[in-house]
Structure 1
Amino acid sequence: MGLSIQGKTAIITGAANGVGLAIARHFIDQGAKVMLADRDKARLKDECGDIDGAEDNIRYFAGDLRERLTIENLISATIDAYDRIDILVNASRQILTTDPLDPHDTSVEAMLEQNTFTALRLGQAVAKRMIAQAEASEQEDGPAGSIINLSSIAARRTHLDLMGYSIATAALDQATRSLAVALAPHRIRVNGVAFGSVMSASLKDSLSETDGLRQEIRECTPLGRIASAREVTSAVQFLASDGAGFVTGETLTVDGGRTLLDSVTTAAH
């Protein structure tokens, strides 16, 4: 078994920027057929429209995936374009600061809806399609699909300003484990990738707004730097590929050793 995803069909959410965009471009480069999903269709086309020779392997879908009907429309659009779904990457994330002592702060609810419930609902809907594909196939063994949820090391840390994000990602990690057990009899694997400080759009904003944050992150990371968004893509490809055929229910940590030091004073994005 190799790590190839060539010819496989993938849905990637949050594909217009940051880590989601890096994963989308990488999957396209690796020969996958990709449905790029985000709220901003114009930005999707601007960011991924320059990949030479990939026109037949890219489709775009714009919509608010917090709405159940939008999820159904995304799946229908993918089936119309490619006839099947092999991989789902839930890369759409929202990061808001939280005041843990303010009962009127709604950031926890917002991030649970965006980061946890949306990923869970989409995963359930895509899994239903994957099960139908497997039942219609004459192949009685082998992989039937792979779902990957992007999480964060914030799920295992305590940073008061990121309380809502920590709650949402911790819940997502549990959803990953629960779905992995539920879908294992159908030969569908569910895993996650939890990363630390990756140069995403949100982290760029934080670095520009907070003096000294870049150095703090470097000092808290044994590898001594902030990761590029593309450094997450190899982990995602591994989990999506048949090379990870006996891996399910795991959340792979990609953080440069950050959690080994257990520093809780510096935000992880």
Structure 2
Amino acid sequence: MTLAISGKTTIVTGAANGIGLAIARHFLDRGAHVICADIDEARLQAEWGDAARDENGPVRLFTGNLCEKLTAANLLSAAVDAFERIDILVNAARVFAPTPDPLDPSDTGLDEMLAQNMKSSLRLAQMTAKRMIAQAEKEERSEGELGSIINVSTLAGCRNQPQLLNYSIACAAQDQATRALAVALAPHRIRVNGVAFASLMSASLQVALKENTPWRGAIAEGTPLGRIAAASELVDTVQYLASPGAGFVTGQIVTVDGGRGLLDPVCVPAY
């Protein structure tokens, strides 16, 4: 089984911090060409500025709001301009917000969670797939895989926690979009998979723990492996799904949660 991704052009969204940053760094270390995309330009520059200064190097930066269709199109154009093709897309950008009152019908939080965590990644995946198909036609490539798309999600998508109502719905919607796209793109030789994490130190969990210190112990106790994992412990799974070693894997949501889902501690937020 080969996990090689060297030379592959990879777009990673949410690459300025947390999980997206860990994935982008890992792919770069494994020889991939990486387009690091994020809405936070200052943080993106702080993390990647030195690496991106080499115009002939393997890193490019892209800043913009990917909820906007034109911005997504510009991201794909930037990737092709830099490296001539797109092989892998990792949708790792996520926005988290609790639901103050799950019984409030005037709450607009669901619209934001769907737009940020599902609609934008779905549109980018669709647009990326079209690019992959077009480049294969240009190359007259009739055999072999055209590309791989990985959507990062969380265990919240299959857990029922009122305080995470909007976020949970968005995660579940993204997981279903992953499965549906996998079927739609299979005839085009593009694989689509997801990675659902929990008990992992994401950027949103770091913020939440500052405001709710007792959660750290509760999350660790609710996880069979007894700890909160580092973001870097997710990256090998993402690489596997992007690599030829997973060539017959599509439509799957791979869970990386330290066994958290086996216990389903309802009182513990599913980050």
TM over 0.5: yes
Q: In the alignment, which residue of structure 1 is the partner of 2:167?
A: 165
**Alpha-carbon distance between aligned partners in 2 of 1:95 and 1:206, rounded to the nearest angstrom:** 10
Cα deviation, 1:200-224, whole Å, max 9, x if unaligned, reads 2211121121132111111110000
Cα deviation, 1:120-152, whole Å, max 9, x if unaligned, reads 000000000001122223432211000000011
Q: In the alignment, which residue of structure 2 is the partner of 1:71?
A: 72
Q: In the alignment, which residue of structure 2 is the partner of 1:83?
A: 84
**Alpha-carbon distance between aligned partners in 2 of 1:50 and 1:260, rounded to the nearest angstrom:** 42
Q: Is the 8 A contact 2:52 2:61 kept in 1?
A: no
- TM-aligned CA deviation for residue 3 of structure 1: 0.3
Q: 1:11 to 1:214 in 2, by over 3 A?
A: same
Match 2:128 to one of 104, 126, 129: 126
- Summarize the alignment of residues 16-55 of structure 1 with structure 2, pairs less than 5 Å apart: 16-50=16-50
Q: 1:52 to 1:11 in 2, by over 3 A?
A: closer
Q: In the alignment, which residue of structure 2 is the partner of 1:216?
A: 218
Q: In the alignment, which residue of structure 1 is the partner of 2:263?
A: 261
- TM-aligned CA deviation for residue 4 of structure 1: 1.0
Q: In the alignment, which residue of structure 2 is the partner of 1:108?
A: 110
Contiguous gaps of at least 5 residues in structure 1: none
For 1:75, the aligned partner's letter is: L
Divergent runs of 4+, >6 A: 52-55
| SS of 1:11 mapped into structure 2 | strand
Q: TM-score, normalised by structure 2?
A: 0.96
Root-mean-square deviation (Å):
1.5
Cα deviation, 1:169-209, whole Å, max 9, x if unaligned, reads 10001000000000001100000000002112211121121
For 1:247, the aligned partner's letter is: V
| SS of 2:57 mapped into structure 1 | helix
Q: 1:233 to 1:53 in 2, by over 3 A?
A: farther
For 1:189, the aligned partner's letter is: R
Contiguous gaps of at least 5 residues in structure 2: none
Q: 1:260 to 1:129 in 2, by over 3 A?
A: same
Cα deviation, 1:62-102, whole Å, max 9, x if unaligned, reads 00010001011111111110110000000010111112111
Q: In the alignment, which residue of structure 2 is the partner of 1:7?
A: 7
- TM-aligned CA deviation for residue 51 of structure 1: 5.2
- Between the aligned residues of both structures, percent identity stands at 61
Q: Is the 8 A contact 2:199 2:220 kept in 1?
A: no
Residue 177 (structure 2) pairs with residue 193 (structure 1): no
Q: Is the 8 A contact 1:20 1:92 kept in 2?
A: yes
Q: TM-score, normalised by structure 1?
A: 0.97
Q: Is the 8 A contact 1:217 1:225 kept in 2?
A: yes
**Alpha-carbon distance between aligned partners in 1 of 2:5 and 2:213, rounded to the nearest angstrom:** 41
